[in-house]
Amino acid sequence: MSKKAVVLVTRKLPVAVEARLERDYDARFNSEDKLYTSDELVRLAAGADAILPCHTEKLTAEVIERLPDSVRSICSFSVGFDHIDLNAAKARGITVTNTPDVLSDATAEIAMLLLLGAARRAYEGEQEIRLGSWGDWSPTYRLGVQVTGKRLGILGMGRVGQIMAKRARGFDMEIHYYNRSRLPTDLEAGAVYHEHLEQLLPQCDFLSIHCPATPETHHLMNAERIGLLPDGAILVNTARGAIVDDDALIAALCSGKLFAAGLDVFNNEPNIDPRYKALENIFMLPHIGSATRETRDAMGFRALDNLDAIVCGDAPLDRLV
Ligand code: DGY
């Protein structure tokens, strides 16, 4: 019987995913779900053929350069790959894969929850009930922004963006989008394409961010671009914190330029800018866009499908480099 490939699994994964790893690989599990330091990760990778990380492990160029020669692939349990320096991996001949498609529905669900929660002031209402400060009902009490029939701008019309558009159509929203390239008419499904982000922004009662975090999208939503949104707009981010400039967003939320924001992702998670916590007009969640049982199983299986292919000498479905 041939020797099983050795896989360093950096975080605790769903039971069914770990069972498949146990069956097919010589897996090094992290049963305590401890967040490894870079030094620990490099040390634990000694003799491993592959690493199965999450977005919580920062595989920078410096870390990748220190990985043992045995490591031939990094199969990430994530669609995002901003935590992996692809150039450094490529330079070392390490194959890198991600898990697209399988988390699009779950992420669009959270984007819709944030959009509704931000518009209808869910955080403030929830707090009032929990803290016992709910007073009388009044016609002018806790007025929010109606979602039905409004214009939704989608920044990044990939898989998640397209599902978000579909869900938003259920609220009769008018869909506008900006994407590097225009979608075919059938996928556009009536959405209005804007060739430049600066053309899209003034059309957005709501803006939902669904593009990847890359050097090009870093702080894409800065003060100047937030300024192009209509007064009282609502910004939703389920992609990555790095796409938004915290200073600019916080200033717009404080000044009333933006009515509210719905955020599932932040710069420097989990140690986010403390100013966010003091703002009542944000509906915040702790990076749980893909956190459903079904999706986390599917992400694990997709990462393992990629690993299986690599180990068998086949082309993995989701090869990044
Ligand atoms: C992803 O898959 O990129 C999600 O953000 C969870 O890591």
Is 126 noted as a catalytic residue in this protein?
no
3-state secondary structure string across 221-272 = ECHHHHHHCCCCEEEEECCCHHHECHHHHHHHHHHCCEEEEEECCCCCCCCC
Tens of pLDDT, residue by residue over 146-167, are 999 999 999 999 999 999 999 9
Ligand 1 centroid to 80 CA: how many Å?
Answer: 5
pLDDT band at 2 (very low <50, low <70, confident <90, very high): confident
Spatial separation of the C-alpha atoms in residues 85 and 312, rounded to whole Å: 25
Q: What share of the chain is helix, strand, coil (3-state, %, to 5)?
A: 35, 15, 45
Tens of pLDDT, residue by residue over 70-82, are 999 999 999 999 9
Q: Is the pLDDT of residue 286 over 60?
A: yes
Tens of pLDDT, residue by residue over 18-51, are 999 999 999 999 999 999 999 999 999 999 999 9
Fold of 6-101+293-311: Rossmann fold (3.40.50)
pLDDT at 180: 96
pLDDT band at 261 (very low <50, low <70, confident <90, very high): very high
- Residue extent(s) of CATH 3.40.50.720 domains in the chain: 6-101+293-311, 104-284
Angle (CA) 258-260-262 rounded to 5° is 130
Can you say how many angstroms the Cα of residue 145 is from the centroid of all Cα atoms in its chain?
25
Spatial separation of the C-alpha atoms in residues 38 and 58, rounded to whole Å: 8
Is 287 noted as a catalytic residue in this protein?
yes
pLDDT at 53: 98
Q: Which of 269, 280, 293, 294 is catalytic?
A: 269
Q: Whose CA is nearest to atom 6 of ligand 1?
A: 78
Residue 299 alpha carbon, nearest atom of ligand 1: 2
SS3 275: helix
Q: Whose CA is nearest to atom 4 of ligand 1?
A: 78
Spatial separation of the C-alpha atoms in residues 159 and 102, rounded to whole Å: 10
Angle (CA) 261-287-237 rounded to 5° is 30
Closest CA to 312 of 1, 4, 99, 68: 4
Amino acid at 265: V
Residue 265 alpha carbon, nearest atom of ligand 1: 5
Question: 290 in ligand 1 pocket by Cβ < 6 Å?
Answer: yes
Instruction: Compute the radius of gyration of the chain from its Cα atoms.
Output: 21
The CATH label, of 3.40.50.720, 3.30.70.920, 3.20.20.70, 3.30.30.60, for the domain at 104-284 is: 3.40.50.720
Ligand 1 centroid to 167 CA: how many Å?
Answer: 20
pLDDT band at 1 (very low <50, low <70, confident <90, very high): low
**Averaged pLDDT for residues 287-316:** 98
Ligand 1 centroid to 82 CA: how many Å?
Answer: 10
Question: 78 in ligand 1 pocket by Cβ < 6 Å?
Answer: yes
Placement of tokens 């910004």 in the chain = 235
**Averaged pLDDT for residues 307-311:** 98
Tens of pLDDT, residue by residue over 46-71, are 999 999 999 999 999 999 999 999 99
Amino acid at 285: L
Predicted TM-score (pTM) of this structure: 0.97
**Averaged pLDDT for residues 230-238:** 99
Write out the two tokens for 219.
């702080």
CA torsion sign for 81, 85, 87, 91 is negative
SS3 235: strand
Ligand 1 centroid to 212 CA: how many Å?
Answer: 10
Percent of the chain with pLDDT over 70: 100
Kindly report the average pLDDT of the chain as a whole number: 98
